[in-house]
A and B are shown apart, each in its own frame.
Chain A
Amino acid sequence: MVEMFINDQPIKVKEGITVLKAAEKAGIHIPHICYHEAFPPEGNCRMCLVEIEGHLCLELACATQVKEGMKVYTDTENVIEARKGVLEFLLAEHPMDCPICDKAGECTLQDYYEEYGLFESSFQEEKERKDKKVNIGKGLILDQERCVLCTRCVRFLRDITKTNELGVFNRGVHSEIGVYDNQLIENNYAGNLVELCPVGAITDRDFRFKTRSWFLEKGASICPLCSRGCQIFIEYHPGFARFEVPKRVYRVTSRVTSREESQKEKGFWICDIGRYGYSYMDKDRAETIIQKEQDLSGDKEKTVKNIDKKIKKLIYRNKLERMGVILNSWLTNEELFLAKKIFAWDLKLKKVYFPEPAQGEKDDLLLAEDRTPNKKGAEEIGFSFDRINQEELFENTELLIVFWSSPFELGTISELTPPLNKVQTKILFTPFKRKWNDLFDMVIPTAVSAEKGGSFANCDGKIQHFGPVLSPPGEAQAEWKWLVSLGKEIGIDFKSYARMWSPLDVYKSIKDKIKFFRT
């Protein structure tokens, strides 16, 4: 530890860290554009210049290491003037097309001008003309005029993905970022460039011109598209009073501020599958309770009672072995625990099935093999994964409850029709409207992970809790809510279910029962 002073305020910091980091600890933000925690300092934007006592010139806060007794000043006249100078340079050759720029509202350059600039421009010359819409691959569009040449994108592709698709071309004021010989960007992490870009130079087709950033609100969640469980923000439009917006979710961004020290290079990023695969949240959602026998739409209580009635009938006939349940690893720990408790412990069913979670190819950085969020959790709760033995499952089954929360298909209609026809009553819990929903007698709408609270255990065994960001559409509600009501209705262990008002209450019970979740 060394003691140093920032604006005469004494602070103790770790040896070897930079002035910029030390100032952040002291609660002082030093403006910077090119510096990013994930990379070594580059020092090309010159925004973070600060005065250090005993130094002749202003020094880079991002690259200067702290020393015992060092006195740093971040708000002297000289520093403020230098900052303004750099801002004026950057803005001189900036196209100022903020009104049509997708970064507007969250642009570093804009923010810094508001905070440190506020000058009249003295630039009276003609601005450089560069290409404003270069396709650099993967739906990314590069605007070379807006670019401030911080080279974060170049460094990301060089140091993190090691694919080196982008480079700096030409010299001086004609310098520009570009792809080599039209070899477009082709990796699963390209979407990070949009977030990494401090200005609106790299934008993606997915978000371009769809909405303005200040209309969006964001909530923290966990990406469910592979078992890595990256921390994400779901950015959604809360809607206008007078006219409808076409969708709720406009983008998914990274919430990862750092990962464990050992995985530092993997920090900050999310993959494109997670970033651009969010459309399932709004597309083809099941919103109403469908029941073929009688119309129960809108009444959740009656629906639960109806399911209970069907289970009770089997109990009275002493034919519970004719009931089957299919679960999946898209469900949260809480939901899986509830299912385990109701079906395996309370009802003591034998036919509780868990199909092998979907798999895909993994890569070196983040994307994991298991493409479902909670395989580890399911394992710990005590499920084993089997290929479903169709004969055993469908023969002599009168009641089948299927939980299907994956946006992917369960199977084709022609595949599913013959076995399902053998079963008398089929109930499907699903968040999605799919063609094969018609094969079921009851379809009960549920929530996707962005719409519910709970926890997932990721591939490294880390348990991550999350809360709901959006509310489920129509009559849909989270599976844990359906399950708690059902548990209460069945009444075998009414007391425990009556205490469960939230996923956290459920989690308490999990902790009591299973050691893995106690950490």
Chain B
Amino acid sequence: MPEKVLTKNFDMEHLFKIDVYMKKGGYKILSNVLKKLKPEDVLKEVKAAHLRGRGGAGFPAGVKWGFVPKEVDKPKYLCVNADEGEPGTFKDRYIMSHNPHMLLEGIVITCYCVGIHTAFIYIRGEYENIAQRLEKAISEAEEKGFAGKNILKTGFDLNIYVHRGAGAYICGEETALLESLEGKRGNPRLKPPFPAAIGLFQSPTVINNVETLSNIPHIMNKGADWFVKQGISEDGGTRIFGVSGKVKKPGIYELPIGTSLKELIFNHAGGMKSNKKLKAVIPGGMSSPILKPDEIDIPMDCESLMKADSMLGSGAVIVLDEDVPIIEVLRKITQFYSHESCGQCTPCRIGNSWIHKTVTRIYYGRGKKGDLDNIEKLASNMLGRTLCPLGDAAAMPILAVVKKFRKELEAELKGSGR
């Protein structure tokens, strides 16, 4: 079994309490960093670790921090994206509920590195009890002097706030998250300017995923070289894969980046449920294009999946077996995106609803010749032409499903009698 990094002590009782976390060596690195290292050293280390964002886009975290201007007369902010809305994804909730202090430690180090004194954790509205646990953890950390005013008597201040979302998928998009945090309707902003320059309350802002930030204490603890070695591929570290669907042991699996998808499903997750045949795998949350069984012998890292025209996304693996009708999958995808489109820009607003209407018609056996071509045309009209990545996130899986399962869908056109 490969070494676990983030989920190492997850089976310990009461790890979410600060005493237990500290007993396991927690917050030691923080005091090392604050007392001995300069912010530049931290940035250098994180850049060297090849830590890519764990939220979906896979943007290198160190580079992102580097974009924030050093000398500004405005306050800078950190927003922790804990909106975990991608269907199939359930990794951040485990981190936050089992080991909230690891996240907080990561937040404090990050803020120290970028020079931030206010951090917001934008948490998915449904995670009510986790939000409470986080708030408890923050007050514990403040009591012990790991957060709040004058952290560890080094003169560094950081206030951490928990902000609960109201249940919109689009608010996981970084600029929509900022709008929502400002108290407005969660609509994405036009980029550029990027949040690193003009973000929350018109100030420079860093936005990172929970899992990304949770890696920071470990990088600072054991060094960038060690971290890079944790991954099989070029990217540093491990990934927490959330496996769901028709497997024997669904759940979260922390594995080195670059572990093969086949190994993940058949070795770690115990293989197919009731020994059915594998039909398809969605490798990185619903917005990642679907893979057929002959494509799953692939290392789970950003580059390899990109080459296979898919993406690692949030690392949520959804496994489908032979019993799953593909039209049902397609309908769920289109339903989700047409429901979650914010309605701001034309292609996403109308494209998604149009495709969903057509797919629903096919689902109920009223498909027509040419429907599939039309779906492909509409999806490619959305691809790359929307205001935010949601349009792409919707178009890509739809295009992949139609392309890879065209025969089965064409049979549906003739009417399945549902």
Contacts and interface: CB of A to CB of B under 8 A. Distances in A.
B346 A148 contact: yes
Interface string A152-178: 000000000000000110111111000
A120 to B, nearest CB: 12
B374 interface: yes
A31 to B, nearest CB: 13
Given A46-B385, A46-B386, A49-B385, A173 B341 contact: yes
B387 A46 contact: yes
A172 B352 contact: yes
Interface stretch (B206-214, B216-224, B312-320, B354-362): B354-362
A265 interface: no
Contact of A43 (B339, B384, B387): B387
B354 A89 contact: yes
Contacts of A80: none
Nearest to B187: A168
B349 A175 contact: yes
A45 to B, nearest CB: 6
Interface string A103-117: 000000000000000
B292 interface: no
Contacts of B358: 124-125
Given A44-B387, A89-B381, A172 B349 contact: yes
A86 interface: yes
B417 to A, nearest CB: 21
Interface in B354-398: 354, 357-358, 361, 368, 370, 374, 377, 381, 384-387
B340 interface: yes
Interface string B276-297: 0000000000000000000000
Given A46-B387, A125-B361, A85 B343 contact: no
Given A92-B354, A175-B349, A41 B190 contact: yes
A44 B345 contact: yes
B351 interface: yes
B190 A172 contact: no
B139 interface: no
B401 to A, nearest CB: 19
Contacts of B347: 46, 85-86, 89
B353 interface: yes
A157 to B, nearest CB: 15
A92 B350 contact: yes
Contacts of B377: 122
B343 A149 contact: yes
B282 to A, nearest CB: 22
B168 interface: yes
A89 B187 CA distance: 20
Which of A60, A82, A171, A175 is the most central at the interface, judged by chain B CB atoms within 10 Å of its CB? Answer: A171
Contacts of A148: 346
B351 A89 contact: yes
Given A85-B385, A126-B357, A168-B185, A46 B338 contact: no
Contacts of B185: 167-168
Contacts of B346: 44-47, 86, 89-90, 148-149
Which of B354, B358, B370 is the most central at the interface, judged by chain A CB atoms within 10 Å of its CB? Answer: B354
Contacts, number: 100
A173 B337 CA distance: 11
A170 B368 contact: no
The contact size tier of chain A is 35 or more
Contacts of B349: 89, 149, 172-173, 175
B350 to A, nearest CB: 4
Contacts of B386: 46
B344 interface: yes
Interface residues of B, number: 32
A58 B341 contact: no
Given A89-B381, A172-B339, A125 B345 contact: no
A57 B354 contact: no
Nearest to A122: B374
Contacts of A171: 168, 339-343
A39 interface: no
A172 B343 contact: yes
A425 to B, nearest CB: 70
A42 interface: yes
Nearest to B388: A43
Contacts of A335: none
B354 A174 contact: no
Nearest to B169: A171
Interface in B289-334: none
A93 B350 CA distance: 7
A43 B189 CA distance: 9
Which of B185, B345, B361, B374 is the most central at the interface, judged by chain A CB atoms within 10 Å of its CB? Answer: B345
A46 B354 CA distance: 17
Contacts of A216: none
A63 interface: yes
Given A45-B345, A122-B374, A124-B358, A173 B350 contact: yes
B190 A173 contact: no
B338 A173 contact: yes
A387 to B, nearest CB: 54
B190 A63 contact: yes
A88 interface: yes
A516 interface: no
Given A89-B350, A148-B346, A168-B343, A125 B385 contact: no
Contacts of A168: 185, 187, 343
A82 to B, nearest CB: 6
Contacts of A92: 350, 354
Contacts of B342: 171-172, 175
Which of A44, A56, A90 is the most central at the interface, judged by chain B CB atoms within 10 Å of its CB? Answer: A44
A421 B358 CA distance: 82
Given A46-B347, A171-B342, 12 more contacts: A41-B190, A43-B190, A44-B344, A46-B385, A46-B387, A85-B381, A89-B381, A125-B357, A125-B358, A172-B340, A172-B343, A173-B341
17 contacts: A44-B345, A44-B346, A46-B345, A46-B386, A49-B385, A57-B384, A88-B381, A89-B346, A122-B374, A122-B377, A125-B354, A126-B357, A149-B349, A168-B343, A172-B339, A172-B349, A175-B344
Interface of A: 41-47, 49, 56-58, 60, 63, 81-82, 85-86, 88-90, 92-93, 122-126, 128, 148-149, 167-168, 170-175
Smallest CB-CB A-B distances: 3 pairs:
A175-B343, A85-B381, A173-B353
